C-alpha cells in the first residue's frame, strides 16, 4: 500500500478538526455562565495537576529550557490564569449602565486557530485554551512541529477533564499531523474566525497575511536599565535569575543590561556572585557567529545552558555559570549580539545617567523589540516615570524579573503567554492577551434623549401645504428611557432565551 502524503494528511486533519470545532461551538453557545466556568475550572485543575509531567515532556521533546521552569509556566497558565479570569463575566449581559440605557452583551468569536511555539509549548496551549473556552469559543491548536506531542498531550488532558464537566466533544483539539500546508489550511479555513499566533516573526507575519482577524506578537529585544538609585544586590539577583529562567526562551527575557556607570562595577561583581560569567572577546566572537541564522535566533542554540553552548561551539566556561555576559558598545547589525537572543547570553552596556540609559534602551527597542517590554531597576520615582512615559513599549516592569513580571507572575499584569506589541510592533493590541480579547461586544441601547424637531421635518418638497401641515416633532413623543426594573427584566429574558435554546 502506498504511503499517504503527510501534507495531505495534515490538510485533511485541519479541515476535520475545524468542522468538528464549529459543530461543538454551536452546541456550546447554549451554555450558561455557570456551565462555562465549571468546564474551565475542571480543565485548569487538570492542567495544573499535570504541570510537572508536561513541563518535563516539553523540555525532552524540544530540547529547550529547564523542566522545573516549564512547570512554573504551566502553573502560571492554569492555576494563576484561572484565578485571574474566573470571575470575569463572558455570557449574556456582562455590563450595564441604566443611566445611559446601554447593555453590553458578550458574543464569542467562534472557532479560534491557535499557533503555539516550540519555546513555551504546553503553557501557551493551556493559556489559549482557557481564555478561548471561557469566552465560549472553540479552539484548534496548530503546534510547532518540534513540540507536537507535548501540545497534543496537553489538549488530551484538558479535553478529558472538560468533557467530564459537560464540554461538547471536539470543542478543543490539537493537530497531530503537523506540516506547513496543514497549518495554513487551518488558518484559512472558512470556519476559523480568529487566529491567535505566538511564535517567531515569520509565523506571526503568516498569521496576519491570511486576511482574518489575528492577534500576533512580535519579537522582544528587552533592555534592562539599572539606575544608580537601584537596590544593586537585588537587581543583580533578579537579572541573572530571570535570564537563566528556562534558559531564556521567553520573549520578554532581558536581552542586555544597561548599567549606570557609577554602579556598574558593583553590579558586575554582584551579578558574578549570582552566576554571571563575563566572557572574553574570543568567546564573544564565537557566540556572534553561531547564535543567529541570518537575523533570526539559531534554533540549535535556543534554550541552552552556558555549558551546552560551550560544548556545542568549542570553548570553556565554569560549571557555576548560569548565564554568559558579553560586553557591547553599539546596537545594530554590526553588533549581532545586541539583538534578541533566546538563550543564556546577555549583553552589557555602560552609560552615564538615566538619560543615556533611556537613549540606549530606545536603540535596543528599535532593533527588534518595538512595542514589547522594558525592565527598569531604580528607586528614583522620577527616573521610573520617565522610562514609563518615553519608551515605545507596552510593558515597563519595575524592580522585578523580565520573564515573570511581564507575564503577570510577579506583577499585577494579566497572566498571559501572548504579549501584544501594539501598532508600533505590528500587532493589533499592546495588551497581555486574555479572555477580553476572545469575544466581541454587542450593545443594546435605549433612547435617552428625544430627537430634535428638525429631524422629523419632511425636508425639501414641492408641496407648500405639506410643509405647512407638518405637526410632528420630539414634543409629541413619549420618553423611551429604560425603567428602573429593566435590569431584572433583561436578566429574566436572557435566562428564558438560554432555556429555549437548550430544548
Share of the chain above pLDDT 70, in %: 89
Residue range 452-474: mean pLDDT, rounded: 68
Q: Which residues contact 322 (CB under 8 A, 6 or more apart)?
A: 240, 241, 243, 244, 274, 275, 276, 305, 306, 344
Q: Is pLDDT of 45 > 80?
A: yes
Confidence band of 95 (pLDDT split at 50, 70, 90): very high
What secondary structure letter does DSSP report for 79?
Answer: I
CA–CA separation, 354 vs 193, rounded Å? Answer: 45
Report whether 187 contacts 114 (CB < 8 A): no
Which tens digit of pLDDT belongs to each residue from 264-281? 999 999 999 999 999 999
Which tens digit of pLDDT belongs to each residue from 208-218? 778 899 898 76
Q: Is pLDDT of 393 > 60?
A: yes
Residue 128 pLDDT: 98
CA–CA separation, 232 vs 382, rounded Å? Answer: 18
Residue 468 pLDDT: 58
Q: Is pLDDT of 262 > 80?
A: yes
Residue 458 pLDDT: 80
Q: Angle at CA 201, nearest 5°, toward 196 and 206?
A: 60
Q: Is pLDDT of 427 > 90?
A: no
Residue 462 pLDDT: 63
Q: Which residues contact 151 (CB under 8 A, 6 or more apart)?
A: 116, 121, 122, 125, 141, 143, 174
Q: Is pLDDT of 59 > 90?
A: yes
If 0-12 CB within 10 Å is exposed, 13-18 middle and 19+ buried, where does residue 503 land? exposed
Report whether 127 contacts 112 (CB < 8 A): no
CA–CA separation, 314 vs 308, rounded Å? Answer: 10
CA–CA separation, 492 vs 54, rounded Å? Answer: 43
CA–CA separation, 132 vs 21, rounded Å? Answer: 12
446: its cell numbers: 435605549
Residue 465 pLDDT: 60
The number of beta carbons lying within 10 Å of the beta carbon of residue 281 is: 9
Report whether 295 contacts 335 (CB < 8 A): no
Q: Is pLDDT of 140 > 90?
A: yes
Report whether 284 contacts 313 (CB < 8 A): no
324: its cell numbers: 554568559
Q: Is pLDDT of 168 > 80?
A: yes
Report whether 179 contacts 6 (CB < 8 A): yes
Q: Is pLDDT of 230 > 90?
A: yes
What secondary structure letter does DSSP report for 413?
Answer: S
Select from 216, 139, 206 the least CA-distant residue to 172: 139
Q: Is pLDDT of 53 > 60?
A: yes
**Could you tell me how many residues make up the chain?**
503
Confidence band of 205 (pLDDT split at 50, 70, 90): confident
346: its cell numbers: 546577555
Residue range 325-351: mean pLDDT, rounded: 96
Residue 347 pLDDT: 97
CA–CA separation, 450 vs 427, rounded Å? Answer: 41
- Its pTM stands at 0.89
Residue 496 pLDDT: 63
Report whether 257 contacts 276 (CB < 8 A): no
Report whether 232 contacts 226 (CB < 8 A): yes
Residue 428 pLDDT: 85
Residue 201 pLDDT: 64
Q: Is pLDDT of 323 > 50?
A: yes
CA–CA separation, 191 vs 116, rounded Å? Answer: 19
Domains of the chain in start order, with CATH, are 6-217+434-440 (3.40.605.10), 222-413 (3.40.309.10)
Q: Is pLDDT of 489 > 70?
A: no
Residue 454 pLDDT: 87
Q: Is pLDDT of 471 > 70?
A: no
The number of beta carbons lying within 10 Å of the beta carbon of residue 446 is: 15
If 0-12 CB within 10 Å is exposed, 13-18 middle and 19+ buried, where does residue 464 land? exposed
Per the prediction, the chain carries an average pLDDT of 91
CA–CA separation, 426 vs 429, rounded Å? Answer: 9
Residue range 115-137: mean pLDDT, rounded: 96
Residue 29 pLDDT: 94
Catalytic residue among 40, 150, 174, 251: 251
Q: 2-16, 43-57, 67-81, 322-336: which range is least confident on average?
A: 2-16
Please provide residue 194's backbone torsions phi and psi, each rounded to the nearest 5 degrees: -150, 140
Residue 374 pLDDT: 96
Whole-Å CA distances, 29 to 17, 26, 234, 494:
18, 5, 49, 13
Residue range 279-286: mean pLDDT, rounded: 96
Q: Look up 150 and say whether it is catalytic.
A: no
Q: Is pLDDT of 341 > 90?
A: yes
Residue 478 pLDDT: 57
Q: Is pLDDT of 456 > 70?
A: yes
Residue range 459-482: mean pLDDT, rounded: 59
Amino acid at each position: 500500500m502506498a504511503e499517504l502524503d503527510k501534507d495531505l494528511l495534515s490538510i485533511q486533519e485541519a479541515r476535520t478538526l475545524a468542522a468538528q470545532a464549529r459543530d461543538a461551538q454551536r452546541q456550546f453557545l447554549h451554555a450558561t455562565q455557570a456551565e462555562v466556568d465549571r468546564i474551565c475550572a475542571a480543565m485548569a485543575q487538570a492542567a495544573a495537576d499535570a504541570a510537572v509531567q508536561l513541563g518535563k515532556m516539553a523540555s525532552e521533546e524540544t530540547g529547550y529550557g529547564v523542566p522545573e521552569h516549564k512547570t512554573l509556566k504551566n502553573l502560571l497558565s492554569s492555576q494563576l490564569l484561572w484565578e485571574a479570569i474566573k470571575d470575569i463575566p463572558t455570557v449574556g449581559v456582562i455590563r450595564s449602565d441604566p443611566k445611559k440605557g446601554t447593555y453590553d452583551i458578550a458574543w464569542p468569536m467562534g472557532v479560534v486557530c491557535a499557533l503555539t511555539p516550540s519555546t513555551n509549548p504546553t503553557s501557551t496551549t493551556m493559556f489559549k485554551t482557557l481564555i478561548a473556552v471561557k469566552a465560549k469559543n472553540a479552539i484548534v491548536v496548530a503546534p510547532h512541529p518540534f513540540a507536537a506531542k507535548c501540545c497534543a498531550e496537553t489538549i488530551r488532558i484538558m479535553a478529558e477533564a472538560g468533557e467530564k464537566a459537560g464540554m461538547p466533544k471536539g470543542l478543543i483539539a490539537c493537530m497531530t499531523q503537523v506540516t506547513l500546508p496543514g497549518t495554513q489550511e487551518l488558518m484559512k479555513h472558512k470556519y476559523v474566525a480568529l487566529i491567535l499566533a505566538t511564535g517567531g516573526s515569520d509565523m506571526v507575519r503568516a498569521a496576519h497575511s491570511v486576511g482574518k482577524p489575528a492577534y500576533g506578537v512580535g519579537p522582544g529585544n528587552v533592555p534592562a536599565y539599572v539606575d544608580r538609585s537601584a537596590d544593586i544586590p537585588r537587581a543583580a539577583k533578579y537579572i541573572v535569575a530571570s535570564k537563566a529562567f528556562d534558559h531564556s526562551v521567553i520573549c520578554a527575557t532581558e536581552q542586555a543590561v544597561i548599567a549606570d556607570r557609577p554602579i556598574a562595577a558593583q553590579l558586575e561583581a554582584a551579578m558574578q556572585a549570582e552566576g554571571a560569567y563575563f566572557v572574553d572577546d574570543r568567546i564573544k566572537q564565537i557566540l556572534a557567529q553561531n547564535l543567529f541564522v541570518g537575523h533570526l535566533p539559531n534554533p540549535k542554540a535556543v534554550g541552552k545552558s552556558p555549558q551546552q553552548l560551550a560544548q556545542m561551539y568549542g570553548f570553556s566556561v565554569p560549571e557555576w555559570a548560569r548565564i554568559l555576559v558579553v560586553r557591547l558598545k553599539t546596537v545594530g547589525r554590526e553588533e549581532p549580539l545586541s539583538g534578541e537572543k533566546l538563550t543564556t547570553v546577555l549583553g552589557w552596556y555602560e552609560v552615564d545617567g538615566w538619560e543615556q540609559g533611556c537613549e540606549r534602551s530606545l536603540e535596543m527597542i528599535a532593533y527588534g523589540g518595538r512595542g514589547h517590554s522594558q525592565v527598569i531597576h531604580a528607586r528614583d520615582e522620577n527616573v521610573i516615570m520617565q522610562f514609563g512615559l518615553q519608551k515605545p513599549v507596552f510593558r515597563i516592569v519595575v524592580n522585578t524579573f523580565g520573564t515573570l513580571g511581564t507575564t503577570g507572575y510577579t506583577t499585577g499584569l494579566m497572566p498571559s503567554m501572548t504579549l501584544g506589541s501594539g501598532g508600533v510592533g505590528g500587532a493589533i493590541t499592546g495588551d497581555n492577551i486574555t479572555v477580553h480579547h476572545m469575544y466581541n461586544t454587542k450593545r443594546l441601547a435605549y433612547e435617552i434623549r428625544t430627537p430634535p424637531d428638525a429631524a422629523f421635518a419632511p425636508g425639501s418638497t414641492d408641496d407648500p401645504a405639506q410643509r405647512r401641515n407638518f405637526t410632528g416633532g420630539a414634543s409629541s413623543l413619549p420618553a423611551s428611557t429604560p425603567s428602573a426594573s429593566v435590569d431584572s427584566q433583561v436578566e429574566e429574558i436572557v435566562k428564558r432565551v438560554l432555556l429555549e435554546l437548550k430544548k
